[in-house]
Amino acid sequence: MNYNLLEMTPEEIKTGIVEGKITIAILGQGYIGLPLSCYLASKGARVIGVDIDPTVVEQINAGSPHIYEPGLKKILQDVLQKENFRVTADVGDAVRQSEIIMITVGTPVEKDGINFSYVERACKDVAGSMKRGSMILLRSTVAPLSTEKMVRKMLQTGSGMIAGKDFCLAFCPERTVEGNAFKELPRLPRIIGGINEKSTNVAAAIFEVLTTKDNIIKVSSPRIAEMAKIFDNVYRDTNIALANELAVICEKLGVDVIETIKACNTGYGRTNMLIPGAGVGGSCLNKDPYILSFLVREKGFEPSLILSARARNTSMPNHVVDLVIEAFDNMNKEIKGSKITILGFAFKSDTDDTRETVAVPIISILKEQGANIVVFDPYVPQEKIESQVGKVDKAQVLLKAIEKSDCLVVLTDHHEFRQLNLPEIKKHLAIPAAIIDGRHVINPKEAIKEGLIFKGVGRPATYFKEQLEL
């Protein structure tokens, strides 16, 4: 039975979804699409995932997700067993069977701008198979006006139908982060901008299956929702850039940046400073400022603050390398021929996501300087690492990774790294040895007490030595 969402009330739509009568197709089964698919299916929805990679399709249908997300494997296997989720590479077939189509494909940054080809391809495929009365929800990060102009035009041209009259169209940005998807999916606010009031209300009804009405934020147009997503990430990127610059200043002045930031933030609502580190990874913060910059440059405005923030964050991997060089100078050792152990390759904690990871530039520079690199990351497989940095050794256990190592460089704040036993670690290192902490998981005083050379982003060893002497 086909359902025309334009003729249904919000309650009828919600009931139809949770009872598995209304089918949802989700295009793109990556870090956003797959958890979303599984979560909706766990609520009773009938979901068809779509991915153009046949290997990914085969893995997911076999109950083995190609990405790591806490809780994902169990939920995937549960919904597969209940037969209300499956994945296919046939976009047309999935769309023809569905009333709701969500587009969650990537929009990567390239040298000359943002690559919207995956969105364009998805729109073309959807337009050729969509039914009257369907809802098309764009979730991929795009430039403002993309939904109203590019997506709308492609869908109307390919289908012969009119948006708002024959089908619903809305933009609703995804705001979940890797590692917390199943915690955030039910509680994060959903910003929804439809091309007309009916589209907005239908989209709101869909997302009320995931969360409460209080978490639904209706805005007046798709471009507001598109811009809000970009604002989110530009704000965070700029805030991190400020923290990173203050961290470098603190190193020069002999002040601990972490304790200072905590003092600023505690109980004082006017300050919400983020934590500095080895750099900014992931697809969003590295991409969204450029989306805005490319767009506004065409209008004759240079967004100097945003681009300066990007430059500061992009420079941090080089700063970490400088800390490594300083540590080797302190040890009177040469980097060439040394063993350097990289702790963490993923861009954030407790995930296997390596998109825009700071480990790539750092490892590349250290390899060029002649270091022998060993990587230990409990989540990222060796083939994924070597596809980005070439041949490196990857240890399966921590103690093997650090054996006879001259220097440890912490680049990911995995939970496991927050519990390192420094006295035990020291026994396996090539003393004198150093720890470079790019993610603030090491206690500087403990490292110094153990006789290790300590370098942390914004955490000068001189400060902690002075504290120990008091």
Tens of pLDDT, residue by residue over 24-35, are 999 999 999 999
C-alpha–C-alpha distance, residues 135 and 169, integer Å:
6
What is the span of the domain harbouring residue 117? 5-220
Q: Is residue 255 part of a domain?
A: yes
Q: Are residues 298 and 202 in the same domain?
A: no
Q: Examine residue 432 and say whether the peptide bond preceding it is cis (omega within 30 degrees of 0).
A: yes
From the list 58, 63, 57, 71, the residue with the least C-alpha distance to 29 is 57
Q: What's the whole-number mean pLDDT along residues 265-281?
A: 93
Inside any domain, residue 60: yes
Segment 442-461 shows an average pLDDT of: 97
Count other Cβ atoms within 10 Å, centred on residue 77.
Answer: 15
Of 157, 233, 161, 181, which Cα lies nearest the Cα of 71?
181
**pLDDT bracket for residue 172 (50, 70, 90):** very high
Same domain, 44 and 109: yes
Alpha helices in 83-151 (DSSP H): 91-96, 117-127
Residue 325 pLDDT greater than 80, yes or no: yes
Rounded to whole angstroms, the Cα distance separating 87 from 47 reads 9
pLDDT number for residue 111 = 67
308, 327, 344: which is the final residue of a domain? 308
Compute the average pLDDT of residues 113-137: 93
- Based on the domain organization, do 132 and 239 belong to the same domain? no
Whether 198 has a pLDDT exceeding 80, the answer reads yes
Look at residues 289, 308, 327 and tell me which one is the last residue of a structural domain: 308
- Within this chain, do residues 186 and 37 fall inside the same structural domain, yes or no? yes
Q: What is the pLDDT, as a whole number, of residue 376?
A: 97
Collapsing DSSP states into helix, strand and coil, what is residue 334?
Answer: coil
Task: Tell me if 225 is assigned to some domain.
Answer: no
Same domain as 243, residue 179: no
Over residues 43-90, the pLDDT tens digits come to: 999 999 999 999 999 999 999 999 999 999 999 999 999 999 999 999
Confidence of residue 151 (pLDDT cuts 50, 70, 90): very high
Q: Rounded to 5, what percent of the chain is helix, strand, coil?
A: 45, 15, 40
Residue 317 lies in a domain: no
d(Cα 330, Cα 200) in Å, to the nearest integer? 61
Task: Tell me which of 168, 172, 284, 407 is the catalytic residue.
Answer: 284
Domain termination site, one of 220, 241, 261 = 220
Could you tell me what percent of the chain has a pLDDT over 70? 99
CATH number at residue 156: 3.40.50.720
What is the pLDDT at residue 177?
82
Active site residue 123: no
For 123-181, where are the E strands, in sequence order? 135-138, 168-171
The pTM for the full model equals 0.92
Q: Residue 457: inside a domain, yes or no?
A: no
CATH number at residue 251: 1.10.1040.10
Does residue 128 share a domain with residue 88?
yes
Contact 362, 315 (CB under 8 A): no
Catalytic residue among 14, 38, 131, 229: 229
Catalytic-residue membership of 367: no
Whether 249 is covered by a domain: the verdict is: yes
Residues 72 and 163 in one domain: yes
pLDDT above 70 (res 112): no
Q: What percent of the chain has pLDDT over 90?
A: 89
Strands 190-194 and 216-218: parallel
CA proximity to 233, closest of 309, 318, 317: 309
Q: Write the pLDDT tens digit of every residue in 332-345.
A: 999 999 999 999 99
Q: How many helices (H) and strands (E) does the chain have?
A: 19, 16
Residue 110 has pLDDT above 80, yes or no: no
Give the whole-angstrom CA distance, residue 46 versus residue 31: 20
- 302 within a domain of the structure (yes/no): yes
| Tokens at 57, concatenated | 């399709």
* Whole-number Å distance between alpha carbons of 410 and 208: 41
Q: Are 162 and 94 contained in the same domain? A: yes
Q: How many domains does the chain have?
A: 2
Confirm whether 363 is domain-assigned. Answer: no
**Do 240 and 215 fall within a single domain?**
no
**27 and 102 co-located in one domain:** yes
CA 59 to chain centre: 22
The stretch 98-115 carries a mean pLDDT of 85
> Looking at the structure, do residues 190 and 71 belong to the same domain, yes or no?
yes
Mean pLDDT of the chain: 95
